[in-house]
Amino acid sequence: MRDDDRKADLLYQQPVTTYQAYNNYPSGGGGKSVYGFSSEGGNTVVSATRAVKVSFDRPYSKSGAGQVFRWEHDLLMWLEREGYDISYTTSIDVHAGRSSLTDYKGFISPGHDEYWTKEMMDFLEIARDEGTGIAVFGANAMYWQIRMESSNGDGVERVMTVYKDGLVDPEPNPNLKTIKHREVGRPEQGIIGVQYGICCAAQNGDYIVQNSDHWIYQGSGFDDGDAVPGILGYEVDARAEGIPLTAGDKQVLLSNSFYAGSLNRMLDANSSIYRTNAGNWVFASGTMSWSWALNRSDYVDAGIQQTTRNLLNRLTE
């Protein structure tokens, strides 16, 4: 039973807007996502097959579970097994203000949390600046700005809009254009410390530890240069030069991992942690597959498990 009045230590945001972005139901029957590679049928207003508006009033294609089992299941299993006090919400609930982020000690963004409204970004920044810690156990977070709209004027926002082209998007307010957040002057790195770099290597790479003397690695057994096999990818983040944090300057890069993505692109990927001016902590794993080291067979790593404990224990003090 849902209980929005109970305030746990941690709030976990399920990224259903990202699920919907990739949803092409009915696959094989003319379904469209916001991506050309998985859309069928004729071109839309962006002169491509991809949709610019997708509805939550339809099932998810394939298994019907969105991206839960690829990026979230292992994190959820581990969090529950460890006994953390968690409330669960969705990106739609955060957007609508139904989940007050300031009521929690820590906020968790898992796996693939790519599509955010301006309202979601606003709420997270407010919570961070008021002392809520942030743990991003993924990569490519907060990348595309979207708008939520009503389909029939009843005020119920069930349509997700993302043109990905500011010239085609009819929205007159430039701050609400459905383009990348960094293109409206709000780079994700300013909030979480790193931002999306590249994706899609045929195989995941290794996570390479850096600054192993930091408290987050205490008891992990890690030394600088140690490698955690197979958890780097399939999208990764990095620290970009010239983009300052918006609430602190005490950043530490916790990894420096070479990643060879698709199209012969290469990047030194980073995980990051910093302390805000309010004294709370913001962590970003810099890789989508962090959770695999917590629970997935053949990937479990005791050092990553201990690192994650250290972080969440500090957030919930």
What domains can you pick out in the chain, each with its CATH number? 10-21+66-143+180-315 (3.40.50.880)
Kindly report, residue by residue over 133-155, the tens digit of the pLDDT.
Answer: 999 999 999 999 999 999 887 88
Residue appearing with tokens 């009915």: 26
Over its C-alpha atoms, the chain yields an Rg (Å, rounded) of: 19
What is the token pair recorded at 16?
A: 């259903």
Beta strand pairing call for 266-269 and 235-238: unpaired
Distance of alpha carbon 142 from alpha carbon 15, whole angstroms:
10
Q: How far apart are CA 294 and CA 95, in angstroms?
A: 29
Three-state SS at 157: strand
**33-49 confidence digits (pLDDT tens):** 999 999 999 999 999 99
Q: What is the pLDDT of residues 281-305, one digit of tens each?
A: 999 999 999 999 999 999 999 999 9
pLDDT reported for residue 33? 98
Give Cα separations from 250 to 123, 126, 138 (angstroms). 22, 19, 21
Model confidence over 60-101: pLDDT tens digits? 998 888 899 999 999 999 999 999 999 999 999 999 999 999
Unique residue bearing structure tokens 């606003």: 122
Please give the C-alpha separations between residue 284 and each of 73, 156, 174, 254, 291, in angstroms, as whole numbers. Answer: 18, 33, 28, 9, 12
Angle of the 73-82 helix axis to the 302-315 helix axis, nearest 10:
70
295 class by beta-carbon count within 10 Å (0-12 exposed, 13-18 middle, 19+ buried)? middle
pLDDT at 116: 98
| Lookup result for tokens 């067979």 | 297
In angstroms, the CA 262 to CA 267 distance is 11
Q: Residue 154: what pLDDT?
A: 82
Mean pLDDT of the chain: 96
Q: What pLDDT was estimated at residue 2?
A: 62
